[in-house]
Each structure stands twice: as C-alpha cells, then as structure tokens.
Structure 1
Amino acid sequence: MAIVQKPALCFYICDNFNFMIKLNINDETSRLRSVILGTAKTNGGTPAVEEAYDPKSLLHIKANTYPKEEDMIQEMEAVEEVFNKYGVQVFRPKLIDNYNQIFTRDIGFVIDDIFIKANILPDREQEIEAIEHVLTQIDPERIIRFPEEAHIEGGDVMPLGDYIFVGVYRGPDYADYIIARTNMLAVKYLQETFPEKQVKSFNLRKSNTNPYENALHLDCCFQPVGEKYAILHKNGFLEEEEYQWLVDHFEPENIFEITSEEMFSMNSNVFSISPKVVISERNFTRLNTWLRSKGITVEEVPYSEISKQEGLLRCSTLPLVRE
C-alpha cells in the first residue's frame, strides 16, 4: 500500500512483537469486533463559558443545564452493556483527573489497517496519550500522523468501501471557527495515503454560536446505516450539489432526512454494531421507528445528557476492528 513520503508523517520502528490488535475498518456498518469507548469519569465538571468548544455546550453552560458526571457515566455504561451483549471487545482510556475524555472519535480513526492519530485542538493532546495502552497493541508501522498543519478529526472521516467521505470547511475564514476541525490539506494527505480510494470532501455549515446551524463534524449531519441506507440533514451542507450527490449515491428512497431539531439532538450520530444492529438514543422515536421498518434491530440507550456537548454515540466510539 502506498503512503505519503516519510518526512511528512510520524512513523515508528517495528520489531517482531506479535501485536494483538489487527486493525480492519472499511466501512461504518460491518460487524464490530473491537472499539475504544470514551469515559465520563473524572470529567472535570462544568467548563467556564470561555472554555466551550462548540455552541451547544455553550448553550447548556449558560443555561445551567450542562450534564452532570454521574448521569453521563450511567449513559456510557449502558452503551458498554450493549457492546458486551454482542461480544464486542471494549477498551477504555486511562483516566485523566478533571478532564473530558468522552469523545474518542475526535482523537483518531482507522481506515483499512491504518490508525491515524488526529490533529486535534492542542489542549486535547492528553486524550491521545490516554489510549497509548491500546496503541501499543497495534503494529507501530500501522500508526501514522499527518503534519500538524493538516487538521483532521475522526468525526469528519467516514470510510465506505472504495470511498472515504470527509467533512471539511473550505471558507477563507476557517481560522475564525473553533468548530472547523478538518481542512483540505488533510484531504490531500488522505488521498496520498490511500491512493486506491476516492476521497470525497463535503463543505459543512459552521457556526460558533448557533447549534442549529452548526455541523461540528460530518457525522452530525450524515451517517450510513444498514446495507444501503443513510441518515442525512440537508442544511448541514453548504454546497447543495454535494448534499445531492449523497442523495443520488444512496438513492432517495433509502434516505432518512432529519429535521433541524433532530440534527440538534444528534439523530445522525447513532452507531452501528452490524448492518442489522444499531445503537440509538431512546428518545429518537421517529428515527428508531424508521430503522426498525428497514429490518434493523435498534438497541436503545439513554444518551441525552452526553448530547448536550454536541456529540453522541458515534462521537464517543473509536472502532478498531470490523469484519
């Protein structure tokens, strides 16, 4: 497999150690075997207004409705119980005192058998260090990182067979948006790293202040489910032709279009254990009914408190192995 030139990436020397985790992620829905699930323990309490990373967290900080640690712990334990039910190997980050470690999808992602460390907000670097005990079980030649200026987070990256879908923000005011997490330079490195795949970027709508007008990541407005279906929110995309490309790709009859309110509640941020099993928030009544109508088993969990931080089930999971 071709990869970008070594001077541009961080590589590590591999010995003959028999590494335990054989990475394999080619899509969003194949049978899950291994995953890193975030943790809400020692979460650090309610941030100050100036510490908010996104407009939805900011809204709840100001309204004094920011989620409590004990409630988020219970929600994440419910997800782990579902993984245990289906025999999924679950890793958790090592705890950092008074630190938010819920959203593991931000810090890395797997495509094929390559783990890519994300270039995240600088003050979140400790989150990557907290999963080092997992990364040491992976062949270090299969772990890479793009140059610092190539911004990328896992919530913006979706492998789907021959495609890699990537959420970006292409505006000249990119630097003005704390919620713009992936740039076009990262798209370039993805294409060079995976030349056999078609890397397709989607320009996302961003707002530092209005959570109803902000697609923090691609998975906040789009996600494939089952074998041929997709959840989609039109207003999450700045370019109508890019939204329409997805509609045409999946075909209109296979699309579940969510409303602005459902996007705000993170309806597109469910998580697939297999093409036949999806973990979803228990209050997503319309979506869950539609999924069941397509023959998909819906494992409902409480996750509404965690959603107050503009992330849900996909955001808090980092798949390592799918069949």
Structure 2
Amino acid sequence: MIELNVVDETSTLKAVILGTARSSGPVPTIEEAYDPKSMEHIKAGTYPKEEDMIREMDGFAQVFHKYGVKVYRPEVLEDCNQIFARDIAFVIEDKLFHANILPDREREFVAIYEVLDQIDPTKIVRPPEEVHIEGGDVMPWNDHIFIGTYTGKDYSSFITARTNIEAVEFIRDMFPNKTVKSFELRKSNTDPKENALHLDCCFQPVGKDKAILHKNGFLVEEEYQYLVDYFGADNIFEIDKEEMYRMFSNVFSISPEVVVSEKSFTRLNNWLREQGFTVEEIEYNEIAKQEGLLRCSTMPLIRV
C-alpha cells in the first residue's frame, strides 16, 4: 500500500507520479488548444515534437532515480497528452483528490490505476461536480493551503480558469484546521504573457522559507502582498513577465536543499545557488511550450 503524505512543497520526496509524453498525439488544432501558449506555438509551427518531449521527461526521471525517489508513470494511452500529471490529481496530507478536470481528460486519471490500486479507497476523494480544481492551483504549505482561483462573472468564458470559488470552499471544509488562502489570478485566453494558468505559474515556495513570485500574475495587490509579507521580501525571487512566460516559477523541489530547474533559467539558478541550494539543471524547454513545466509534470505522493 502507498501511505500518502504531502504537507508542503519541498520536504524530501519519496514517491511521485511523473507524466509521460509517449503517444501524445498529433499537433492539436488551434480550437483544441487549452491555453494561449500552446496556441502561439501551433500558429508558429514550433509546437514540440514527441521525441523531444520524451527525451526531456526521461532526463527528469533520471534526476529522481539519482535521489532514490520511487517514480510511477501512467499507462500510455494512444494519442493522448499525459504530460501534466499535476492537473488530474493532487495529494494533501493523506488524501488524494481526483481533480474535476476538462471532461475529455478524464481517462488520464484512470491511466494512473497502478497507483490508485495501492491507495486505501477511503483516502481517494472526488469533489462534487460543481467544484472545479486542478493541482497546479493547490499548494499545501505546512499550516496553510494556498489556492489559485478566478471568481470573475466571466469565469466560464476562460479556458484558462481552472479552479473556482466552490473549490476554495470545498478545501476549506476538508481542512478546517488549516488556513486556506485563495489568490485571484490574471487570466487571458489569447496572451500567454498576461495569463497565470495556475498558481504555480506565478508563485512557488522553495527551501524552508523562500519563494519565487511574479507580481503581475495576481489580480489583487493585497493578495500578492500577503505572500511578500509571509515569506519576507528578502526571501523572494521576483520574476518579470518574460520569465513568468518561460515558466521560471514552475521548478520542482526534491528536498528543502535540492531544486530541479530548466538549464536556461540562468538568473534564477544563480540565485538558488547563492541561497545554498543544489540545482539540478535539465532541458525542459520543449515541454514549456504547452504552458507547463516541472511542477506541472509531477504529482508527489509521499514527502517526509
């Protein structure tokens, strides 16, 4: 049996689901794209090739093996993009939440049955239908749970709005002893530099007390300021619009001391090293073209 345990973003990782780029299907049409960055690359003819994405994900898997992490991969579904494991489920404490994702992605959840079969069924939670939530918007952080959301009346017109206010209330009810703090995120269907698809596209904690942050990803200045005050201005690495677009905040922590990052993120990687982190640099630039990066591709099961 898998004893789920995730209470933060950075404790030592013991088991994780890493998505797969195998049989990820043909280049989507513009109408099929879920986000503005994918659309941009479809239009430009620069959408990532499957063999390049497989190579990048294999490089990520090698880093996990180096640190002794148990890695699960989904069953490969034909012509199905299964790269972003974080979208379909997430773990808080000892519960795995089955995300209510876009309906045509439901089979991606079923494809992780190797993991689901090893979890106590009472620990697998399917939120009610009105609760829209994806793992990229959910960050457990000790006594807090940070959640990205969008509550505008035009919510339904954004393919990029993935987590609603009902989800925030649902998580609040599930974890009454935690501070559930929600953040209104900037959404755009057409401009990837003005779109925070998930909370982890504009914010992520690293180490024990530091964070990567992009101010323009937040619609409400006080909510952005909450994170600045919480972590302390000296502990924050502020990224600009171009760096947010390149997914600088979507790195992944294997432990409080070890961060996996894209090798081209020079400014960030230098800062991390200055703060005493070990930075495992890998190539992940092709996957970034789908508006997702390292955190999006993973779904931690056990951190200790």
Give distance in 2, aligned partners of 1:92 and 1:194.
29
Partner letter of residue 316 of structure 1?
A: S
List runs of 5+ in structure 2 lacking aligned partners: none
List runs of 5+ in structure 1 lacking aligned partners: 1-19
**Deviation sequence 1:175-231 (CA, Å, 0-9, x none):** 000110000101111011111111100000000000000000000000000111000
CA contact (8 A) 1:45 1:68 kept: no
Partner letter of residue 89 of structure 1?
A: K
Partner letter of residue 31 of structure 2?
A: E
Match of 1:311 in 2: 292
Match of 2:56 in 1: 75
Counterpart pick for 1:35 among 5, 16, 25: 16
Give distance in 2, aligned partners of 1:49 and 1:160.
36
Task: Please state how far the C-alpha of 1:269 moved relative to its aligned partner.
Answer: 0.1
Counterpart pick for 2:272 among 270, 282, 291: 291
Give distance in 1, aligned partners of 2:133 and 2:174.
14
Match of 2:93 in 1: 112
**Deviation sequence 1:277-321 (CA, Å, 0-9, x none):** 000000000000000000000000000000000000000000000
Give distance in 2, aligned partners of 1:158 and 1:44.
30
SS in structure 2 opposite 1:62? helix
Task: Please state how far the C-alpha of 1:45 moved relative to its aligned partner.
Answer: 2.1
Partner letter of residue 101 of structure 1?
A: Q
Partner letter of residue 266 of structure 1?
A: M
Partner letter of residue 49 of structure 2?
A: K
Partner letter of residue 105 of structure 2?
A: R
Counterpart pick for 1:161 among 138, 142, 160: 142
Give distance in 2, aligned partners of 1:132 and 1:105.
15
Give distance in 1, aligned partners of 2:22 and 2:275.
36
Give distance in 2, aligned partners of 1:263 and 1:45.
27
SS in structure 1 opposite 2:57? helix
**Deviation sequence 1:69-92 (CA, Å, 0-9, x none):** 000000000000000000000000
Partner letter of residue 103 of structure 1?
A: F
Give distance in 2, aligned partners of 1:99 and 1:142.
27
SS in structure 2 opposite 1:274? coil
Task: Give the TM-score taking structure 2 as reference length.
Answer: 1.00
Match of 1:242 in 2: 223
Partner letter of residue 262 of structure 2?
A: E
Runs (4+) of structure 1 exceeding 3 A deviation are none
Partner letter of residue 279 of structure 2?
A: V
Say what the alpha-carbon RMSD is for the aligned residues: 0.4
CA contact (8 A) 1:49 1:58 kept: yes
Partner letter of residue 280 of structure 1?
A: S
Task: After TM superposition, list the pairs within 5 Å mapping 1:126-137 onto structure 2.
Answer: 126-137=107-118
Partner letter of residue 58 of structure 1?
A: M
